Amino acid sequence: MLPSSLYGHAIEAFSQFRANPAIPADALIRRFYMGRKYLGAKDRRFIAEAYFGTIKNWRRLESLVQHCFDDKSVTSERLIAAYAILYKGTDPTTAQYIFGKYDLALTALECLADRTCETARLEPLPVAERLGVLYSFPEWFVHRVAEEYGPDRVEPILAALNEEAPTTVRTNTLLTSRDALQDELWSEGCKTSLSLISPEALVLERRVNVFSLPAFKRGAFEVQDEASQLIAPFAEIRKTAIKVLDTCAGAGGKTLHLSVLMKNRGEIFATDVDPRKLDALQQRASRSGAQNIRVVLPDDKEKAFSDKAAWFDLVLVDAPCTGTGTLRRNPGIKWLLTEQMIVELISKQRAILEENLHFVKRGGTLLYATCSLLREEGEDQVEWLTGKYPEFTLEEILRTRPDEKGCDGFFAARLRRKSEAL
């Protein structure tokens, strides 16, 4: 397919995202592809790169388009053309040919390619505004990062959040070993490297449709970021015949990991407010051979847990959050997230914690986790919890950042409920 047609598809997909920003960007493009079965794998990769690249760099591209086009109108075709010039190195004359049907002036395209002009235009701006435009983040988020990690770490963190996230898989050690899985994937044409962060992880060296691989279909691995793979082991499970509650299980990535760590023994109760995600969890559990997971649908929670007070050895609260640690994978989040939403999420996280604290047995473990970079959703929540509920004591905190180890940003806190009532 010609570049003009490929970029035309990217423009169409991005226009749909602009019209429906509340729909997750990855879900929208999957729907887009479903209606266009004629697109081959290389075509889809090209379109996705332009689509996600434009979403990721939207603010900078918008600033350039407004500066370079006389009418200052920001259209999808102009944004995609700016992406092609700025991030793919397309020269203005070639861009004018590729985007010929949109009648883009050569002078405007040459302006888009002028980095000296852009630097001079951004240099006088306040630091937060300049970095917000350059890396395409809301200014309030830039300020938050500066407050929490210091001014010297702002630019590295913003840059890391804009990098392409690798595809990482977690070995299902119920069925195979990491070395054996690496050999199996190699035989299936998928080259990987060993993760330096997670002992069960393999990092793919290029993007492939892993869900079509025989190794996936037989349950030998799950797709899971390296940092996410650190959460379940952080519970420090020392006995396998234990009772676990995963109260925000979603589609079950960490649930399945817990099952592996428990060697398919004990019992895991997995529940979530979204029954569709639990249906996906059941399918994944069946494929992976996990037999110690009991899925509890939302309507059945009250009955299932009515006699489970102080019953669980481990309660995992993988709370809904801003997702700011996963912006590499979900760049659309930053254009939806507001400071008011953070306030609402903090309240929701506390409500979920309070609803589930009593399930932790005396001497048991509470594991609280988010995929957020913000202290308000991590350390501050732990301080609130231990202050209000002194029977819980903090044992250890885990935090990862994309600028440090190239993985997603996660927070986890392991707390112990005291053996004796206060």
Residue 256 belongs to a domain with what CATH number?
3.40.50.150
Under DSSP, is residue 331 helix (H, G, I), strand (E, B) or coil? helix
Domain that holds residue 148: 129-162
Q: How far is CA 36 from CA 18, 126, 406, in A?
A: 20, 45, 34
Domain-embedded: residue 385: yes
Question: Could you give the dihedral angle defined by the CA atoms of residues 364, 365, 366 and 367, in that order, rounded to the nearest 10 degrees?
Answer: -160
Domain-embedded: residue 228: no
Q: Are residues 410 and 354 in the same domain?
A: yes
Domain-embedded: residue 139: yes
Q: Are residues 186 and 257 in the same domain?
A: no
Residue 245 C-beta-side C-alpha neighbours within 13 Å: 27
Q: Are residues 403 and 300 in the same domain?
A: yes
> Phi then psi for 412, rounded to 5 degrees?
-145, 140
Q: Are residues 390 and 247 in the same domain?
A: yes
d(CA 101, CA 122): 31
Q: For residue 65, give every residue at least 6 positions away whose Cβ sits within 8 Å of its Cβ, in sequence order, or none.
A: 72, 73, 74, 75, 78, 79, 82, 112
Residue 186 belongs to a domain with what CATH number?
3.30.70.1170
Please list the pLDDT of the chain residue by residue as tens digits (422 residues).
Answer: 899 999 999 999 999 999 988 888 989 999 999 999 999 989 999 999 999 999 999 999 999 999 999 999 999 999 999 999 999 999 999 999 999 999 999 999 999 999 999 999 999 999 999 999 999 999 999 999 999 999 999 999 999 999 999 999 999 999 999 999 999 999 999 999 999 999 999 999 988 889 999 999 999 999 999 999 999 999 999 888 999 999 999 999 999 999 999 999 999 999 999 999 999 999 999 999 999 999 999 999 999 999 999 999 999 999 999 999 999 999 999 999 999 999 999 999 999 999 999 999 999 999 999 999 999 999 999 999 999 999 999 999 999 999 998 999 999 999 999 987 65
Q: Are residues 249 and 392 in the same domain?
A: yes
pTM, whole model, 2 decimals?
A: 0.93
Q: Are residues 253 and 151 in the same domain?
A: no
Counted domains in the chain: 4
